[in-house]
Structure formats: structure tokens, C-alpha cells
């Protein structure tokens, strides 16, 4: 049995200082979302296993904040291929994993991350910012991943309500 965790990055700026989508950073709400998700994972003793994170700024920030909450060492690598990837490109990344990796977490972007969750589970899934879904894969090799073969273990999105700014 394998476990695949999918995490969409936390809430971000609409436009980066450079004007590039790749460079968008987390908003205060996003930082709070990632902290709440990290705390949830720690208190529920959920392992992320090997983390493959998109190399975009917002996904790296999300992963770093989450990892600050975990007692296990975060075994992670950055992937340029995950940035703006479609589900089939993500399947290729996962398919290249070795048999020693039984728990894998992708930290990525929509629409691809939601497409992948939908494809594997056979359900219509739309992950919102900082939302995570954990999927059970009934195989001993990532090579056998295919449509509708995964079952949902859990799905979690931190609810974060920041105070409204005071306008004078």
C-alpha cells in the first residue's frame, strides 16, 4: 500500500514584485494557513514521506512553514517540472519514484494538483489554497497508478480568519 499526499500552496499575492507568476509570495493569510496545516499534520502524526515541491516561491514557502511544525525531518526536493504541470506530467514524476518511497507528498498548483486528485480518486475534486488530500494507493509500485485506483484517506483545509485591517 502506498500513500500519496497532495497539497496546494497557501494563499498568495495576486501579482509579484517582479510581475512574474513564479515569484508570487504568500500573503499573511497564506502564512497562517500553512502554519495551521503544519500543526494539524503534527498533532495527527501524519507523515509526508518524500516531499516533491514545485520550485515556485509560494510552494517553497508553504512547504517550509509546514515542515517547521513536524518532528520528522522533511525529506524534500524541488521540481521545476511541477510548476504549472498537468496531472499527466505529475503522474510521470510520481512514476519515476523508487520502490523505497511508500509515502510521497506533492506540493503544487492548480489546476494540475486538483486534476491529479480527481483522476486518481475518480471523484470531482477542487483543492483550495492550503488544502491537502491524502490518497491510499492499493499497489506496491508507483508504476501502477491509473485512473480511479486511489481512495481518499482524508481531505483537510485550514480555516483561517484574519482580523480586518482598521481603516482610519
pLDDT per residue over 73-102, tens digit each? Answer: 899 999 999 999 999 999 999 998 878 899
Confidence class of residue 163 from pLDDT cuts 50, 70 and 90?
low
- Tens-place pLDDT, residues 51-61: 999 999 999 99
> 2-156 falls under which CATH superfamily?
Phosphoglycerate mutase-like (3.40.50.1240)
For 115-140, the pLDDT digits (tens) are 999 999 999 999 999 999 999 999 99
- Count of CB atoms situated within 10 Å of the CB of 18: 10
Rounded to 5°, the CA angle 17-18-20 comes to 115
- DSSP, collapsed to helix, strand or coil, labels residue 76 as strand
The pTM (predicted TM-score) of the whole model is 0.94
In the chain, what are the domain boundaries?
Answer: 2-156
Helix (H) or strand (E) holding 16: none
Buried/exposed 105-134: b ≥16 CB within 10 Å, e otherwise: bbbbbeebbbbbbbbbbeeebebebbbbbb
Alpha-carbon gap, residue 37 to 39, rounded angstroms: 5
Is 70 exceeded by the pLDDT of residue 162? no
- The radius of gyration computed from the CA coordinates of the chain, to the nearest angstrom, equals 16
140 class by beta-carbon count within 10 Å (0-12 exposed, 13-18 middle, 19+ buried): exposed
Determine the pLDDT at residue 99: 81
Amino acid at each position: 500500500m502506498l500513500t500519496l499526499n497532495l497539497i496546494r500552496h497557501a494563499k498568495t499575492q495576486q501579482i509579484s514584485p517582479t510581475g512574474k507568476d513564479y515569484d508570487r509570495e504568500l500573503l499573511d493569510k497564506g502564512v497562517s494557513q500553512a502554519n495551521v496545516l503544519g500543526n494539524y499534520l503534527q498533532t495527527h502524526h501524519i507523515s509526508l514521506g518524500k516531499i516533491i515541491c514545485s520550485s515556485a516561491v509560494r510552494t517553497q514557502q508553504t512547504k517550509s512553514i509546514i515542515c517547521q511544525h513536524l518532528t520528522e525531518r522533511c525529506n524534500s526536493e524541488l521540481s521545476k517540472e511541477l510548476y504549472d504541470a498537468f496531472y499527466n506530467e505529475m503522474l510521470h514524476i510520481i512514476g519515476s519514484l523508487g520502490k523505497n518511497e511508500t509515502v510521497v507528498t506533492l506540493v503544487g498548483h492548480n489546476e494540475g494538483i486538483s486534476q491529479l486528485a480527481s483522476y486518481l480518486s475518480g471523484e470531482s475534486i477542487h483543492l483550495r489554497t492550503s488544502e491537502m488530500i491524502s490518497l491510499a494507493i492499493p499497489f506496491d509500485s508507483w508504476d501502477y497508478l491509473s485512473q480511479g485506483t486511489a481512495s481518499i484517506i482524508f481531505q483537510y483545509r485550514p480555516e483561517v480568519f484574519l482580523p480586518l485591517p482598521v481603516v482610519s
